[in-house]
Amino acid sequence: MNELVSAVPWLGKRNPMAARWLIIILALAAPIIAWQFGRSWVRILDFALLYMMLALGLNLVVGFAGLLDLGYIAFYAVGAYTFAFLASPHFDVHLPFWIVLPLGAAFAALAGIMLGFPVLRLRGDYLAIVTLGFGEIIRIFMLNLNYPVNITNGPQGINMIDPINLFGWDLSRNLQVTETFSINSLFLYYYFFLLCVAGSILFIQRLQISRVGRAWAAMRDDELAAKAIGINTRNMKLLAFSLGATFGGVAGALFGAFQGFVSPESFSLMESIAVLTMVVFGGMGNIAGAIVGAFVLALLPEILRDVAVPLQQTLFGTVILDPEVLRMLLLSLAMILMMLLRPSGMIPARARYAHAENMKREGAQ
Amino acid sequence: MITLLEARNIGKRFGGLQALTDVSLTIRKGEVYGLIGPNGAGKTTFFNVLTGAYTPDGGEFVFNGSELPAGKPHKIVGRGIARTFQNIRLFRDLTALENVMAGHHVRTKAGVWGILTQNRFTCEEERLTTQRAYELLDYVGIGRFAEVVSKNLSYGDQRRLEIARALATEPQLLALDEPAAGMNATETAQLKLLIEQIRHDGITVMLIEHDVKLVMGLCDRVAVLDFGKKIAEDVPAVVQKNEAVIAAYLGGGKHAH
Amino acid sequence: METLIQQLINGLVIGSVYALIALGYTMVYGILGLINFAHGDVLMVGALTALQTMMFLMGVAPGMSPVYMLTIALMVAIPVCITLGFLMERLAYRRLRNAPRLAPLITAIGMSFLLQTVAMILWGRNYHTFPQLISTTPMQPIEGVFITPVQVIIIAASAAIMIGLSLLVTRTRIGRAMRATAENHRVASLMGVDTNAVIAFTFVVGAALAAVAGVMYASNYGIAHYGMGFMPGLKAFTAAVLGGIGNLGGAMLGGIMLGLVESFGAGYIEHLTFGFLNSSYQDIFAFIILGLVLIFKPTGLLGERVSDRA
Average pLDDT of each block of 10 consecutive residues along chain A (365 residues)?
74 80 87 87 94 96 92 95 93 92 96 86 81 89 86 90 86 83 88 95 93 94 94 94 96 95 92 92 88 91 82 80 85 91 78 43 40
Q: What is the topology classification, in CATH, of domain A2-364? A: ABC transporter involved in vitamin B12 uptake, BtuC (1.10.3470)
Q: Is the pLDDT of residue B256 over 50?
A: no
Subunit contact A222:B168, Cβ cutoff 8 A? no
Q: Does B115 touch chain A (CB under 8 A)?
A: yes
Subunit contact C105:A125, Cβ cutoff 8 A? yes
Domains of chain C, residue spans: 2-296
Q: Is the pLDDT of residue C309 over 70?
A: no
Structural domains in chain B?
Answer: 1-80+171-256 (3.40.50.300), 91-163 (no CATH)
Domains of chain A, residue spans: 2-364
Extract the runs of DSSP E, i.e. beta strands, from C139-271.
139-142, 145-147, 223-224
pLDDT classification of C246: cutoffs 50, 70, 90: confident
Q: What is the topology classification, in CATH, of domain C2-296? A: ABC transporter involved in vitamin B12 uptake, BtuC (1.10.3470)
A95: nearest Cα among A253, A251, A261 = A253
Question: What is the C-alpha to C-alpha distance for residues A172 and A163, in angstroms, rounded to an integer?
Answer: 6
**A272, closest residue in chain C (CA to CA):** C109
Q: What is the pLDDT of residue B251?
A: 64
pLDDT classification of C283: cutoffs 50, 70, 90: confident
pLDDT tens digits for C73-89?
A: 999 999 999 999 999 99
Contact B84, B209 (CB under 8 A): no
Q: What would the mean pLDDT of B194-201 be, rounded to a whole number?
A: 95
C-alpha separations of A332 from A161, A265, A312 in Å: 33, 19, 21
Subunit contact A66:C117, Cβ cutoff 8 A? no
Q: Is the pLDDT of residue B257 over 50?
A: no
> What share of chain A has pLDDT > 90, as a percent?
49
pLDDT classification of B253: cutoffs 50, 70, 90: very low
Residue C219: partners with Cβ closer than 8 Å, 6 or more residues away? C130, C132, C133, C134, C150, C154
pLDDT tens digits for A232-276?
A: 999 999 999 999 999 999 999 999 999 999 999 999 988 999 999
Question: What is the C-alpha to C-alpha distance for residues C237 and C233, in angstroms, rounded to an integer?
Answer: 6
Subunit contact C290:A320, Cβ cutoff 8 A? no
Which bin fits B108, alpha (ψ -120 to 50), beta or left (φ > 0)?
beta
Contact A332, C114 (CB under 8 A): yes
pLDDT classification of C136: cutoffs 50, 70, 90: confident
**C108, closest residue in chain A (CA to CA):** A336
Cβ-based burial of A72 (10 A; exposed 0-12, middle 13-18, buried ≥19): buried
Q: Does B85 touch chain C (CB under 8 A)?
A: no
Q: What would the mean pLDDT of B59-82 be, rounded to a whole number?
A: 94
Question: What is the C-alpha to C-alpha distance for residues C37 and C115, in angstroms, rounded to an integer?
Answer: 11
Residue C116: partners with Cβ closer than 8 Å, 6 or more residues away? A328, C41, C44, C226, C227, C229, C230
The mean predicted confidence, pLDDT, of chain C is 87
Extract the runs of DSSP E, i.e. beta strands, from chain B.
3-14, 17-28, 32-36, 58-63, 66-67, 81-83, 173-177, 204-208, 221-226, 229-234
Q: Is the pLDDT of residue B34 over 70?
A: yes
Beta bridge partners of residue C223, listed in sequence order: C129
The mean predicted confidence, pLDDT, of chain B is 91
Question: What is the C-alpha to C-alpha distance for residues B139 and C277, in angstroms, rounded to an integer?
Answer: 64
Question: What is the C-alpha to C-alpha distance for residues A360 and B101, in angstroms, rounded to an integer?
Answer: 12
Beta bridge partners of residue B225, listed in sequence order: B230
Contact C250, C21 (CB under 8 A): no
Three-class SS state of B60: strand
Q: What angle do the packed helices C230-243 and C2-32 form, to 10 degrees?
A: 80
Chains contacting C (3+ CB pairs below 8 angstroms)? A, B
C-alpha separations of A301 from A44, A48, A202, A311, B107 in Å: 10, 11, 28, 14, 49
Subunit contact B134:A207, Cβ cutoff 8 A? no
Question: What is the dihedral angle through the alpha carbons of B218, B219, B224, B228, rounded to the nearest 10 degrees?
Answer: -90
